[in-house]
Amino acid sequence: MAWKKVAEKDAVAPGKGREFVVDGKRIAVFNQDGFHALDSVCVHQDGSLAPGKLDGDIVECPLHFWHYNIKTGELLDYIKGVKLQTYSVEVKKDGIYLDV
Ligand code: FES
75 lines ligand 1 (CB under 6 A): no
* pTM more than 0.75: yes
Specify the pLDDT at position 98.
98
Please tell us whether the domain made up of 3-99 is placed in CATH 3.40.710.10. no
63 lines ligand 1 (CB under 6 A): yes
Q: What is the 3-state secondary structure (H, E, C) of 23-90?
A: CCEEEEEEECCCEEEEECECCCCCCECCCCEEECCEEECCCCCCEEECCCCEECCCCCCCECCEECEE
Specify the pLDDT at position 1.
84
User: Mutation test of ligand 1: which of 64, 78, 84 has the most ligand atoms closer than 8 Å to its C-beta?
Assistant: 64
The residues spanned by each domain of the chain are 3-99
Read off the pLDDT of residues 74-85 as tens digits, 9 standing for 90 and up.
Answer: 999 999 999 999
42 lines ligand 1 (CB under 6 A): yes
